[in-house]
Structure 1
């Protein structure tokens, strides 16, 4: 059982490390090699082997069960990581010119707006040259990273 616990602990350490420093370990092999997938497989291998071993089955069966379940966990998590990386947004859409509503008071330092587009599902941080009251219709005049500069919408 000690072998399973050690392998599971190594997998857990690798999983935590890849969570914080994943870019260091990235290897692009067409999606076949996934460090988080390998870490999940090691954790599942260790856990399933320890559980099977604790059930009183022969050591041989503990290794067989751990290998099979670990491989299934690896394939599942590698596919999940690959699909999530393919669906990442990439470059944010420029919203200059879009209209919306001030959801809070907007000052030269802070504020929040909700834009009208169907693709806009979240509020955005905003700022303006002058104060804009909550509920005022706005137009985006500049897109700066995660924030937008807005002005009152001309009627």
Structure 2
């Protein structure tokens, strides 16, 4: 904004504040999309009846912008047949700037996805609900 007075012009830039507001909104939108995607993936896994021990279902995570990685783990659980089984998680990597993700850390998740897709349909659901996700971010940001 230029200010005029007595032969001098002063210029004040709001570019830095504007850039920060856009970057914050982008981060919030990416995070909300990942959170929604994780929820849809869990719903899809339940709807597909792809749950044996619940380990894969509980290893579905939204990894947020600049968020922490999901650590690898290993646990013994009882399956539907009452057998004790070992379940392992490969973990999920941390995301950097302007990147969020949805993942299933169970080491065998790819086999579930091939048999009864739950992650890829979740991405399609996020795309279809993107307007609603934008509204959630707007409400949270008070706009």
Q: TM-score under structure 2 normalisation? A: 0.29
Q: Which has the larger radius of gyration?
A: 1
Structure of greater relative contact order (alpha carbons < 8 Å, 6+ residues apart): 2
Q: TM-score, normalised by structure 1?
A: 0.27
